[in-house]
Amino acid sequence: MKRRLVRTAVPLQYVKPICVAATLAGVFFVAAGLWLAGLCMLIGAYLLEKNAYCCPKCGKKLDMKRPLLKGAGCPFCGEALRQGKENRS
Ligand SMILES: [Zn+2]
């Protein structure tokens, strides 16, 4: 069993929105002429996706193209990826 060195502080359901926001900001910076800042944002978004967008249980990388729907599970181990939002009475 492989232990991850860096434990991500970003909840899984926020990784994708942050990546999308950072990518958009990066494109905006590049369009505004601040290509160095834009490049940093794009690289940051890419690294965040690579490092943080994985299953919290088995640690396998998840597909960025697959939407993280409510009740969606890990395609590898079946772990529920979205928790905390649904209220069970
Ligand atoms: Zn898993």
Question: Ligand 1 centre from 9 Cα, in Å?
Answer: 18
Query: DSSP class of residue 66?
Result: S
Give this prediction's pTM: 0.70
Q: What is the pLDDT of residues 24-48, one digit of tens each?
A: 999 999 999 999 999 999 999 999 9
Question: Ligand 1 centre from 44 Cα, in Å?
Answer: 24
Q: Where are the domains of the chain?
A: 11-82
Question: Ligand 1 centre from 10 Cα, in Å?
Answer: 17
**Could you tell me if 88 and 67 are in contact, meaning their C-beta atoms sit under 8 angstroms apart?**
no
Query: Tokens 């597909």 — which residue?
Result: 63
Q: What is the pLDDT of residues 65-84, one digit of tens each?
A: 777 777 788 889 988 887 65
Question: Ligand 1 centre from 52 Cα, in Å?
Answer: 13
In angstroms, the CA 22 to CA 36 distance is 14
Question: Ligand 1 centre from 4 Cα, in Å?
Answer: 14
Cα→Cα distances 59→5, 12, 64, Å: 12, 12, 15
